[in-house]
Structures are given as structure tokens and as C-alpha cells.
Structure 1
């Protein structure tokens, strides 16, 4: 469920020294954000759930306007109001206390020694802890749901219900409830679900409904490929958060497996693999079960390579995935892929070669393949697959459309100049550093730039550089001395030589 902290928890922190003045009936209101405002009309900037901290500097002078100010905060759905005393007000105004009691909006006194920042930090730390606890619970719930899938759909529903502390039901394609836990949805909830499905059609995907009782209904399609087997409905007291959505998606995938075995088993398995990759890309440290799920992607030494395909647009992604999967099936390999916009990242065993990667792309329709840029990483330990994906993306950005997958290692020696962004930066640096030398050559008909490059590429070896230029080493020494004078630097310093070599190469 959504993360939030009841106002009573903030008041219970002794080190803050907060004192409730009014609105005790609203101590259960949930805080999801802390902000400070001295505006006379802050309600237009609020969306609900905020803990508003103020010193009352912008508080209206008249009693009527102050009451309206506080009532507007209540109407905006704020969770509570902290009033700092000792600055513009020695005490919390009594009329605000009365208003707080009347509308049930908690109002507490913040003593002068307690900075607003301490309250904000305390609340944000607790919110972060709640998010971590949710991820931890999800990491434990997913394996339980996976094991429950062996027993059938009812067991999966029971585990999801326990993980979300909500009512969970499976709605068949005929809109009847086939499984539910801990009980079947009541008539009003069932009617709202039926209305949603009738309005949006069987392939509705997912959607959220809020009913008059304050409950939330989330409906998730159970499907494999283009076949819809029903819907999973979750009825909860609060809206589902991102981690809850992951659990819902996991349960939906497991149910899809149960409904369509084994014809669509691979499609659902691919979906689970994608979810595992997505979760680990977002939170690479959690959870252990996800790392175990990705283990089949690695070779015998536990290494993987990433193949990133940059398509001409998002519309080309589905056909690309289907083509790659079709090539992997005869090899008895799962598809471990992650999509983002027009990009597809596929995990391959670390022992796979550039030729193997190219063979996977052989079945892609020619019009899609012709515009596709492909990049391949070097082998990485499984736990470092996010780095492999990043390296493959860099290689793909430098690859030619329709060409073989480009390995990042193949760019050694000219990697910086292979990327347009780096080219622009180096070109600008080159122009700034070398312009005095270019101007000198133009005025005097010399070619000191050429002499500088020869000297730098020879690592400062006079004889080697002079031979490359076809001049005597003393002549080269004279030119280098002139270059140092014009540029105002010393080529005896390795860092200076390195920067100048990059500038000269970029200019060339």
C-alpha cells in the first residue's frame, strides 16, 4: 500500500518536543510530504497529505480570515499543521485551536529550539524506512507466490492477499468471481468491477477505481500473448504503491502460467525475466531472489554479456523481441530482455561471441534491421549486469545502422571520438586550446600544428618525431619552443601533452 506516516507518530517523537493543541480527532491522518509555507493562501499549491509547517508570518490579521485560512487547509486535504512559536507568535492562536478541533485537523506547537528541518528529516527518514520495508516484504512475498503457483490459482491469490493486506479476487472472462481471499467482494465492489470491464473491454490492461466508501480497486488483466484469461482485482483501503504493483504484476504472470500451460509458458517466463531485470536495474541490491531468477542467463562461470538494440522507434520493439526469442527457443535458452522506449537490452551468456549475437538478429525483418544499431558488451559477472547494459548502450550509440553488433572493446584508441556528444566537447576544447597556434600558422605560413602532432604522437622522442617530419631534430626543438611560447605552456608536463594530443586529434 502507499507509504505514509500518521500524525500521531510525529507527535510521539520526544526529541522534537511537539505539543498537540487541537484536532485530536485527526491524528490518524497520513503524512506523505512535509513542506514549509508562510503564504496567506497556500491551499492552491497543495494536493493533500502534506504536513504544513509555518511560523504564522503570513497569517491573516482578522479572526474570520484566520478561520478561513485554516479551513482552506483542511479542504485541501493536508494531514496536519505545525505552528512554530517564539518568532511572529508567542503561542498558537486560540481561534486556530478552536478551528482545528471543529474540523478534526491536527494542529501542534513547534517550540523555538526545534528547527523545521528536524521535523522534515525525521518524517523523510521514516518514509524511506517504510519504502525499504515494502521492498523487503515484496522480496519475501514473491518466492512464496511462486511456490504457491504449484498448488494453483487459489494459493497465489491467498499469498497476494496476505502480502498486500487486501481482498484479492480473480474475475473470469464472463465477469464472475472464480477465486477470492479472504472473502468475495461485496455487491457494490463487484458492480464497479463489472462496470469497468464492460466499459474498457477484456483487454483493458490495468486500471484503478476509487469507490464512495474510500476503498480502492485495482484491476489487472491476466493474459498470455494476445489471449486474455480473466482479471485480477485487488480491493484495498489505500492506493497501491509501486512495490505493490510489482507484486500484482508478479501474481498476474504466475496466474497466466497457471491458465495456459505450456503453450504460453515461454511468453510468461519472458515477462517474469523482464520484471526481474527491471527491478534489479532500479534497485540493484535487492532482493536475493531476483538474482537467483537471473542465474540461467549466465554461462558456467557466472558471466553475462549485454546486447543492446537501438530501433528506429518503439513500434519496432515487439517484432525485434519476437525475432530474438524465436532464435533462442531452439537453443533451449530463455529470453532475458528489458525494453525502454526504442531500446532493447538482452542478456546473453558471457561465453557468447559477436557472431552469436549477429545470428540472433538474423530473423529480424530487413526494414527493421536496416535502421537498427547494435552494441555488445564484454563479459561481466552477473551481479554487474547493469554495467554491461550501460557499456552495450554506449557501443550501440557508436554503431552504424544495419551493421554487425559493435563491441565496446573494439573502440579502444578512438572511443572518445566515436560518440557525438564527446566529439562536440572535444571539438570545442580543441578550438579553444589550439586557436592561437592556428592563427600563427595562418599569419606566417607555417605548419606548427603538424609539428606538434608529430612530437606528441612520438611521446616526446625528438629523433622519432623529427624523422617523421623529415627535419633535423634541432629544427623540431626550435618549433616546439615556439609552440610553447605561443600556447603559454610547457610540453615537459605529461598532462599538458595528453590534453594537447586530444585537442590535435579532435581537430584532425
Structure 2
């Protein structure tokens, strides 16, 4: 479920010396962030779940305004208010305590020796521990669900129910409940699921329903290819987090295997591979089981390359991914891919070449291939596959539409000018640095820009640059002196020469 620390846990840390003053009914409110604010109206900057710390410097002076101050924070959804004493206030104002009791918002005293930073550090450490615990729980639950798949659907949803502490249902495509654990939910929950599916007949992914009670119903389609066999529904007390979504997706994949058995094993395997990539890309921690799963993507030396395809649209990206899978299938190779909108990232063994990558794109319709830009990374150790994807993404951004996959290493010598963002920056810098010289050439009919470039490309070697221009070195010295005078710089400094060379190249 979503991360959060009850206010009562923070108050229970003896080294902080915090003392509850009011709002004891709200000690279960969950803290997701700690903020310090001395604003008179801080509520407009809150989004919910914050623990606000203040010394009261911005606290309103009148009793009604203080009541409104606390009520506004409560309505903004903050988890609690910590009041530092010993600076602007010796004690927590009594009217603030009364207001906290009225609305049930925890209000506690922070003694002068306790820095706000100590509270923030304590909370952030606990939140990090929770995130790690979630990843660890998922890494332990996934193999249990996988083993349970041998026994069938009922065993899989039993394990998922235990892992999420939730009610889990398998709903057929016709809306009929096929399985439920630990028990059938209330009739109103079943009705909401059927209503949702009736209005979303095109659902092939997931969806969520929030009930008036605060519960959530999360649905995940059980699919194989373009066939929707049914839905996995989870009824929880609150919204589920990304790690729990991975468990839900894993269970869905296992159920797809049960529906389609070996004929669709590859589709489910691809999904598992994608989920392993997504989990390692998006979640903190180091779940060994995910790395073990991803090891099949590497070559014998444990290295992988990333192939990134930047497509014209999300449907085109899905079509390109299906084509890559179709090319891998006859070779008995698994697909390890991550699809995000109009971008596809595919992991290949480090021993694959750009020719191999180009072969994978065979079969994409010519009109689609003409719009697709492909980038290929150098081989990287498996545990740095995210870096490989980043490099391939950069190469794809510089690649020409329809061209062979561009390797990032092939950009050496002109990488800065290969990316539109860098081009814009360098063009602006070029104009700012060289405009005085351009103006001088126009007024006097000279060509100092050309002389400057020859001098810079010769690394300041007079004879080499003069020969390239076809002039005597003394003539070139005279021109360089004039350039230094016009630009107000000294070209005997390496950093100045480097910046000017970039500017001259960008101007071209």
C-alpha cells in the first residue's frame, strides 16, 4: 500500500523528545513528507500527508484567525503540526491546542534542543525502510506465486491475497466471479466491478475504483496477446503502490498461463521480463530475484546492449515491439522490453551487433520504418542496463528516421551537435561570442572568422594554420592579434580556444 508513517510512531521516538499537546484522535494519520513553514497561510502549498513544522513566527495573532489557521491545514490534509518552542513562543498557544482537539489534528511540542532537521531525517529514514520492505516483500511473494501456479488459479490468488493483505477476485470477461479469496466481497463491491467492466469493455490494462468507504478496487486485465480472458480484482483499504502493482501484474501473467497454457507461454514470459525491467528501473532496493530473472538477457560475459526505438505514436511502438518479438521467436530468444508511450527499450545480449539490431526491425512496414529512429548502446554489465537504455535513448534522439540503429559511440567528434537541445545552446553561445567578429568582417571586408577557425583547428600551431590558409605566419599572427582585440580575449589560453572552437563549429 502507499507509504506513510503514523504520527504516533514519530511521537514514540524518545530521542526527539516530542510532546503531544492536542488532536490525539488523529494519531493514526499518515506522514509522507516533512515540511517547515513560517507562512501565515501555508495550506495553499500543501497536497496532503505533510508533517508541518513551525516556530509560530507566522502564526496569526487573534484567536479566530488561529482557529482558521489550523482548520485550513486540516482541510488541506496535513498529517500533523509540530510546534517548536523557545524561539517566538515559550509554549504552544492554548487556543491552538483547543483547535487541534476540535478537528482531531495532532499538535505536538518540539523542544528547543531538538532541531527540525532531526525530525525530518527520522521520518525520511523510516520512509526509505518502508520502501525497501515493500520491495523485499515483493521479491519473496513472486516466487511463492510462481510455485503456486502449478496448483492453479485458486492457489495463485491465495498467495496474492496474503501478499497484499487484501481480498482478491478472478472475474470472467462476462463479469461472473470465478474465484475469490479469502471470501466473497459485499454485493455492492461486486456491483461496482460489473458496472465498471460494462462501461469499459475496451479495457486491456488496469483500472481503479474508489468507493465511498475509502476502499479501492484495482482491476488488472488477464490477457494473452489481444485476448482478454478476464480480470484480476483486488479490494484494498487504500490505494496500492507501484511494488504491489508489480505483484498484481505478476499474478495476472501467471493466470494468463493457466488460461492459455504453453501456446501462450511466450506472451506471459515477455510480460514477466518487462515487469522485471520496470521494477528494477523504477523501484529502490536490490531484489536479487529480479536480477536473476533478467540474467537471461545477457551474453556469456554478463553484458547487455539496449536498443531504443523512438516511434511516431504509442500504437506504432506496440507494432514495432511485436515485430521485434516475431524476429526473436524463431531464434528461441526471450524478449526483454520496456514500453513507455511511443518509446520501446529492448535488452539484447552484449555480443549482438548493429547488424543484429537492424535484423530485428525487418518486417516493420516500410512506411512505419521510415518514421522510426533507432539507437543502440555499447555493451554494459547487466546491473547497469538502465545506463545502457539511457545511452541508446540519446543515440535514438540523434538518429535519422528510417536509418540503421545508430550506436552512441559513432557520435564521437560531433556528439554535441547531434542533439537538437545542444545545438540550440551552442548556436546561442556562438552568436553571443562571435557577433563582434562577424560585424568587423562585414564592415572591413575581412574574413577573420576563417582565420580564427584555422588557428583553432591547428591547436594554435602557427605554421600549420598559416599553411592551411595559404598565408605567411606573420600575416596570421597579425590577424590573430586583431581577433583578440575585437573579441577582448587571449587566444593563448586553452579554455578560451576550446570555447571559441565550439562557437565557430556551431556557427557553421
Length-normalised TM-score, structure 2:
0.89
In the TM superposition, residue 124 of structure 1 has moved relative to its aligned partner by: 2.9
Asked whether the 8 Å contact 1:83–1:109 carries over to 2, the reply is yes
Per the alignment, residue 287 of structure 1 pairs with: 287
Asked whether the 8 Å contact 2:204–2:223 carries over to 1, the reply is no
Asked whether the 8 Å contact 2:243–2:283 carries over to 1, the reply is no
In the TM superposition, residue 363 of structure 1 has moved relative to its aligned partner by: 0.7
* Structure 1 pair 479–80 and aligned structure 2 pair: CA distance change class (3 A): closer
Once the two structures are superposed, residues 370-429 of structure 1 have per-residue CA deviations (whole angstroms, 9 ceiling, x without a partner) of 111222222222222222222222222222222222222222222222222222222222
Once the two structures are superposed, residues 23-55 of structure 1 have per-residue CA deviations (whole angstroms, 9 ceiling, x without a partner) of 333322222333455666666665543434444
Moved more, 438-447 or 261-270: 438-447
Residues 1:348 and 2:352 aligned together: no
5 Å-filtered alignment, 1:61-100, equals 66-67=66-67, 70=70, 73-74=73-74, 77-87=77-87, 89-100=89-100
* Structure 1 pair 196–85 and aligned structure 2 pair: CA distance change class (3 A): same
Q: Deviation above 6 Å: which 4+ runs of structure 1?
A: none
Unmatched runs of 5 consecutive residues or more in structure 2: none
Asked whether the 8 Å contact 1:82–1:110 carries over to 2, the reply is yes
Residues 1:505 and 2:505 aligned together: yes
In the TM superposition, residue 369 of structure 1 has moved relative to its aligned partner by: 0.9
Alpha-carbon distance in 1 for matches of 2:238, 2:195? 21
Residues 1:170 and 2:170 aligned together: yes
Alpha-carbon distance in 2 for matches of 1:322, 1:270? 11
5 Å-filtered alignment, 1:33-432, equals 33-36=33-36, 46-56=46-56, 66-67=66-67, 70=70, 73-74=73-74, 77-87=77-87, 89-101=89-101, 103-201=103-201, 203=203, 205-283=205-283, 286-432=286-432
Alpha-carbon distance in 2 for matches of 1:427, 1:40? 46
Once the two structures are superposed, residues 165-210 of structure 1 have per-residue CA deviations (whole angstroms, 9 ceiling, x without a partner) of 2222222334343333333324443343333333433736423233
Alpha-carbon distance in 2 for matches of 1:473, 1:71? 80
Give the match's secondary structure for 2:163.
helix
Once the two structures are superposed, residues 90-133 of structure 1 have per-residue CA deviations (whole angstroms, 9 ceiling, x without a partner) of 43344544454455443322334434443333323322221222
Per the alignment, residue 2 of structure 1 pairs with: 2
Alpha-carbon distance in 1 for matches of 2:439, 2:41? 62
Moved more, 57-66 or 446-455: 57-66
Asked whether the 8 Å contact 2:168–2:234 carries over to 1, the reply is yes
Residues 1:487 and 2:487 aligned together: yes
In the TM superposition, residue 60 of structure 1 has moved relative to its aligned partner by: 5.8
Alpha-carbon distance in 2 for matches of 1:103, 1:418? 59
Alpha-carbon distance in 1 for matches of 2:59, 2:446? 75
Alpha-carbon distance in 2 for matches of 1:54, 1:464? 68
Give the match's secondary structure for 2:348.
strand
* Structure 1 pair 418–80 and aligned structure 2 pair: CA distance change class (3 A): closer
Per the alignment, residue 465 of structure 2 pairs with: 465
Per the alignment, residue 445 of structure 1 pairs with: 445
In the TM superposition, residue 13 of structure 1 has moved relative to its aligned partner by: 1.7
Give the match's secondary structure for 2:263.
coil
Once the two structures are superposed, residues 198-231 of structure 1 have per-residue CA deviations (whole angstroms, 9 ceiling, x without a partner) of 3433736423233344433222221112222222
Asked whether the 8 Å contact 1:197–1:204 carries over to 2, the reply is no
In the TM superposition, residue 364 of structure 1 has moved relative to its aligned partner by: 0.7
Length-normalised TM-score, structure 1:
0.89
In the TM superposition, residue 249 of structure 1 has moved relative to its aligned partner by: 1.4
Alpha-carbon distance in 2 for matches of 1:134, 1:350? 32
Moved more, 301-310 or 104-113: 104-113
Asked whether the 8 Å contact 2:170–2:230 carries over to 1, the reply is yes
Alpha-carbon distance in 2 for matches of 1:61, 1:487? 60
* Structure 1 pair 22–434 and aligned structure 2 pair: CA distance change class (3 A): closer
Asked whether the 8 Å contact 1:173–1:202 carries over to 2, the reply is no
Give the match's secondary structure for 1:263.
helix
Asked whether the 8 Å contact 2:131–2:284 carries over to 1, the reply is no
* Structure 1 pair 62–444 and aligned structure 2 pair: CA distance change class (3 A): closer
